């Protein structure tokens, strides 16, 4: 059995993670932390876990050493405490955004604060088994992509690798409300959310940088929340398509009649994406053919 613990287990993503872990035949859930709810039964906070665990939330200072430690904690807090977390497990699986990007300048650009553990950037394997399965088998540090980023990466990477994308990608993402987390706030009230569409990141969404890093292509992303019709996250990608050159023929010129590739993907969790960015100091791809500063995830 693999002995695991979850930090930040009272939140939405922590609860979903507990649901998966408590049904896994080879996992022993040994601890789940909550600062606010320590001592409370887990299934009292996450009622869908009734009958699956008899554990209570514990405080973080009660953590031991585990085979795997999952971090479902807010970004910024996660990078600040990563050195401590690394000492608590053979393998760390981080669900926050703090170690998804490999470039410190890009992190600062998109998250609005300097990265506090730059030496660790680039040491996490992306938690996308579809593209990194072999590396994940032995990885001791894993960073799970954002939900909408994951939808974009799954849909676009095969097209990018086949050379079918010749220009900037646009991603139009829709999320429900779980992406904002379980923390109460007036913007999350039913009266504010019900039936309303909220464009909360019209430009420079944080997941834009993740998709760009994974595909090596320029990405522009818009994220809209609410409407009451989305469970999880849905992302629709559009890009002018590069025409395949047939053997023995020259490529036909492309222009206004260029066909457009559209793909879509769905990610089962919500999304947490707010904040402002004012500058971009890391170079990013400006066209599909320009030299990319990103190392493609799959070949990294």
Ligand X SMILES: NC(=O)c1ccc[n+]([C@@H]2O[C@H](COP(=O)([O-])OP(=O)(O)OC[C@H]3O[C@@H](n4cnc5c(N)ncnc54)[C@H](OP(=O)(O)O)[C@@H]3O)[C@@H](O)[C@H]2O)c1
The catalytic residues are: 147
Are 83 and 117 in contact by the 8 Å Cβ rule? The answer is: yes
| Interstrand relation of 197-201 and 233-240 (parallel, antiparallel or unpaired) | unpaired
- Residue 253, C-beta contacts closer than 8 angstroms, at least 6 positions apart: none
Min dist CB 8 to ligand X, Å, is 3
Determine what percent of the chain falls in helix, strand and coil, rounding each to the nearest 5.
30, 25, 45
Position 225 contacts ligand X (CB under 6 A): no
According to CB under 6 A, which residues from 266 to 295 bind ligand X? 269-272
CA distances from 124 to 18, 110, 173, 285 (A): 22, 19, 25, 22
Min dist CB 178 to ligand X, Å, is 5
Beta bridge partners of 265: 235
Among 18, 63, 95, 139, binds ligand X (CB under 6 A): 95
Window contacting ligand X (CB under 6 A); options: 122-130, 178-186, 279-287, 291-299:
178-186
Window contacting ligand X (CB under 6 A); options: 35-43, 110-118, 129-137, 278-286:
35-43
Position 31 contacts ligand X (CB under 6 A): no
Q: How far is CA 36 from the centre of its chain?
A: 25
Among 42, 63, 73, 157, binds ligand X (CB under 6 A): 73
Q: Give the x/- contact pattern for ligand X in 121-150, rule: CB under 6 A.
A: -------------------------xx---
Among 46, 75, 115, 207, binds ligand X (CB under 6 A): 75
Window contacting ligand X (CB under 6 A); options: 9-17, 24-32, 109-117, 283-291:
9-17
Min dist CB 202 to ligand X, Å, is 20
Among 1, 20, 24, 35, binds ligand X (CB under 6 A): 35
Position 77 contacts ligand X (CB under 6 A): yes
Position 226 contacts ligand X (CB under 6 A): no
Window contacting ligand X (CB under 6 A); options: 11-19, 129-137, 191-199, 292-300:
11-19
Window contacting ligand X (CB under 6 A); options: 7-15, 41-49, 277-285, 287-295:
7-15
Q: Quick check: helix, strand or coil at residue 65?
A: coil
Among 126, 152, 181, 216, binds ligand X (CB under 6 A): 181
Among 29, 31, 72, 153, binds ligand X (CB under 6 A): 72
Position 182 contacts ligand X (CB under 6 A): yes
Phi-psi sector, 47: left (phi>0), alpha (psi -120 to 50), beta: alpha
| Interstrand relation of 169-175 and 233-240 (parallel, antiparallel or unpaired) | antiparallel
Q: Would you tell me how many other CB atoms lie within 10 Å of the CB of residue 132?
A: 17
Which tokens in the block code for residue 296? Answer: 């493609």
Are 207 and 152 in contact by the 8 Å Cβ rule? The answer is: yes
Q: How many residues would you count in the chain?
A: 300
CA distances from 292 to 47, 125, 187 (A): 47, 20, 38
Which tokens in the block code for residue 38? Answer: 């320590």
Position 183 contacts ligand X (CB under 6 A): yes
DSSP 8-state symbol, 194: T
Using Cβ positions, the residue closest to ligand X within the complex turns out to be 11
Site residues (vs ligand X, CB under 6 A): 8, 10-14, 34-37, 72-75, 77, 95-97, 146-147, 178-179, 181-183, 269-272
């Amino acid at each position: 059995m693999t002995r695991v613990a979850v930090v930040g287990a009272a939140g939405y993503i922590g609860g979903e993670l507990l649901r998966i872990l408590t049904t896994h035949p080879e996992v022993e859930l040994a601890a789940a932390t909550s600062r606010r709810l320590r001592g409370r039964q887990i299934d009292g906070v996450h009622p869908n876990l009734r009958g699956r665990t008899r554990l209570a939330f514990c405080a973080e200072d009660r953590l031991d050493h585990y085979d795997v430690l999952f971090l479902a904690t807010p970004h910024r807090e996660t990078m600040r405490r990563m050195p401590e977390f690394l000492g608590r497990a053979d393998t760390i699986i981080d669900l926050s955004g703090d170690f998804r990007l490999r470039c410190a300048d890009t992190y600062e650009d998109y998250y609005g604060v300097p990265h506090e553990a730059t030496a660790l950037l680039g040491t996490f394997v992306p938690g996308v088994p579809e593209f990194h399965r072999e590396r994940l088998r032995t990885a001791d540090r894993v960073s799970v992509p954002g939900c909408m980023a994951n939808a974009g990466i799954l849909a676009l990477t095969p097209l990018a690798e086949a050379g079918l994308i010749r220009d900037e990608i646009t991603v139009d993402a829709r999320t429900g409300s779980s992406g904002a987390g379980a923390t109460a706030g007036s913007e999350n009230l039913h009266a504010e959310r019900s039936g309303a569409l909220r464009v909360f990141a019209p430009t420079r969404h944080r997941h834009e940088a993740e998709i760009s890093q994974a595909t090596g292509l320029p990405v522009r992303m818009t994220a809209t929340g609410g409407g009451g019709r989305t469970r999880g996250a849905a992302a629709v990608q559009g890009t002018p398509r590069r025409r395949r050159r047939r053997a023995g023929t020259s490529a036909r010129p492309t222009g206004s009649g260029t066909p457009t590739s559209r793909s879509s993907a769905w990610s089962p969790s919500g999304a947490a994406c707010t904040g402002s960015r004012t500058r971009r100091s890391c170079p990013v791809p400006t066209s599909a053919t320009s030299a990319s500063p990103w190392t493609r995830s799959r070949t990294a």
